[in-house]
Structure formats: structure tokens, C-alpha cells
Amino acid sequence: MPRLKIDTSLFRPIEIEIDGKVYESKRLTRNIFQEIEQLQKEIETGSVEAGYKLLELLLGDECMAVVSELDISLVNKITAFIMENASKIGQEEKNESKPGDKDSQ
């Protein structure tokens, strides 16, 4: 019978370096995406504060002081980078050949 085994401990965060300090993204779970959607609606209505809250949501509480000092254009750039790359995580492994695969011979 076919089986798919998922190991959630293999989560690889996206790393963001700000002024020499590296921050790691949080897991993007269903609950996080619900919060993201709400914040994106607020951003669409012109809320700049929601942009900062969104980045803090993605990176966690430890980055709050640093994020609050960033220009909104940098906040948007970092947020876009995380969101774009979050959907790509795991695709690299799926597309890589493993020893013994037909394509690797």
C-alpha cells in the first residue's frame, strides 16, 4: 500500500540577515496563514502598522525591536522574500536526483 511519511522536524526556516544578525522564519501553519490573510487585508486598506505586524508574525517576537526601526520599504521587501521562498521550500529536494534514481545514472 502506498505511504507518505512526513517528518515535521525537518522544517527548514528561511533565514533573514539584518545588520549582521540572522533571524529565522517561523513555520507557516494554517493558523499563521489565517493571520497573514487578515493582516494583508489591513495592508490593502492602507495600514502601514499591519505591514510591520506581518513581518513580526513571520519572524517571531525576537525581531520586534529591529523590525520597528526598519523603513517600510525594507519591511515589504523582507516579507515578500519570505512569502516567495516559503512556497519553494521542499521543491529543491523533490527535484534533486538521489543515488539510485534513473536520472542520476
State the 10-residue block means of pLDDT for the chain, 105 residues long: 81 90 91 95 96 95 92 96 81 50 46
Whether residue 27 contacts residue 11, with contact meaning beta carbons closer than 8 Å, is answered with yes
**Cα pseudo-dihedral 73, 47, 56, 92, rounded to 10:** -60
Q: Is 24 helix (H, G, I), strand (E, B) or coil?
A: strand
- The domain segmentation of the chain, as residue ranges, is 29-85
- Specify the pLDDT at position 89: 58
Q: What is the pTM of this model?
A: 0.76
| Radius of gyration over every alpha carbon of the chain, rounded to an integer in angstroms | 17
Residue 89 CA to residue 86 CA, distance in Å, equals: 6
First and final C-alpha spacing in the chain: 28
Please check whether residue 23 is in contact with residue 65, taking contact to mean a CB–CB distance below 8 angstroms: no
